[in-house]
Amino acid sequence: MPTYSTSAILIRRVDYGDYDLILNFLTRDRGKISAIAKSAKRSRKRFGGVLELFNSLDIVVSRGRGKGLSVVNEASLIKPLFNIGTDIKKTAYASYWAELTNLWLEEGRAQTGIYDLLDHVLAELDAGAVSGEVLSILFQMRFLNLSGLCPNLSHCSTCSIETDAAPRHRMNFDLSKGGVVCERCAPYGKEEHCLSRGTIKQLQWIDNGDIRKATRIRFSAQALKEGLRFLESFVPYHLGKEPRSLKFLRQIR
Ligand SMILES: [Zn+2]
């Protein structure tokens, strides 16, 4: 069987029988792949205990013939994560990002931008200097952008007036239109569907430029609340389903 090696992040892991694991990886070179790790469950020694969720690994994979599953032959850790697995809130955020990646991406299509993004937010989450909330806004905004589903925040989706020139200091977001609508066009918008101008600015800043600088943006408590509320409705709406990990995240938050 032809063999290749690549960097990969483990985004899903399920038991397969008594001995094996079925793993989904986001690889740097080949996008999302799934593969079986034989005897990984029976013996932790087989892969040195590195096949844990969210780990960043170098893997060697034999490609399956026809519709056969690929097989993981070797896996080694690129950098260890110390803090995600022992912190329930960090685990909840990492699970949400991994599930989005797993649900959204097609198998076998390289998405280097999304790989670098996921790698970055997991490392920052583990390091702990930036909160899970800010990283989740960063991840979702950039993930949507890289997937071609960037929400329109710059102008009213109905009359096209620019957000800065809109009559009030807030806009309503309309999921079906994929963006914001001014208060003149949607005067009876619900309170929970509103984004203040300040929040919109911060969402636009975090979506642009160098990713390391983007995480230094200081979000106000209101911007965090509005931004997360907006993205956590926008993402499931476009995904066509509510990720299971999002329910869990809401519970523990
Ligand atoms: Zn309008």
Read off the pLDDT of residues 221-241 as tens digits, 9 standing for 90 and up: 999 999 999 999 999 999 899
pLDDT in tens, 177-223: 999 999 999 887 777 789 999 999 999 999 998 998 888 888 999 99
The structure's pTM equals 0.95
**Residue 38 CA, ligand 1 centroid: distance in Å:** 57
**Residue 214 CA, ligand 1 centroid: distance in Å:** 29
**Residue 238 CA, ligand 1 centroid: distance in Å:** 22
Asked: is 1-80 a CATH 2.40.50.140 domain? The reply is yes
**Residue 142 CA, ligand 1 centroid: distance in Å:** 26
Report in angstroms the alpha-carbon separations of 98 from 23, 25, 91, 168, 179.
Answer: 12, 10, 10, 37, 25
Mean pLDDT value across residues 18-30 = 96
**Residue 225 CA, ligand 1 centroid: distance in Å:** 24
Asked: is 83-253 a CATH 1.20.1440.120 domain? The reply is yes
**Residue 201 CA, ligand 1 centroid: distance in Å:** 18
What residue ranges do the domains of the chain occupy? 1-80, 83-253
**Residue 157 CA, ligand 1 centroid: distance in Å:** 7
Q: Quick one: 115 exposed, middle or buried, by C-beta within 10 A (0-12, 13-18, 19+)?
A: buried
